[in-house]
């Protein structure tokens, strides 16, 4: 998975790959967080 790729890149000192992997992970988490926040607000609005 992505964790294995990250560890391998760190061990091989491929820091540009490490940076790219971390940026992808951070961006993915941010997008998922945004989408779940919007969904939560929709659900709360429906329940009121």
- Reference 24, options 5, 41, 10; nearest CA is 5
Q: Tokens 């490490």 map to which residue? A: 18
* pTM metric for this prediction: 0.79
User: So what's the pLDDT on residue 48?
Assistant: 65
Encode the chain (48 residues) as per-residue pLDDT tens digits. 889 999 999 999 999 999 999 999 999 999 999 999 999 999 888 776
User: So what's the pLDDT on residue 45?
Assistant: 85
Residue 23: both structure tokens together = 């940026």
Enumerate the domain spans of the chain: 2-47
Cα 34 to Cα 38: distance, rounded to the nearest angstrom: 6
């Amino acid at each position: 998975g992505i964790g294995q790729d990250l560890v391998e890149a760190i061990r091989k000192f491929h820091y540009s790959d490490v940076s790219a992997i971390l940026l992808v992970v951070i961006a993915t988490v941010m997008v998922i967080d945004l989408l779940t926040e919007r969904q939560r607000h929709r659900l709360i609005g429906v329940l009121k």
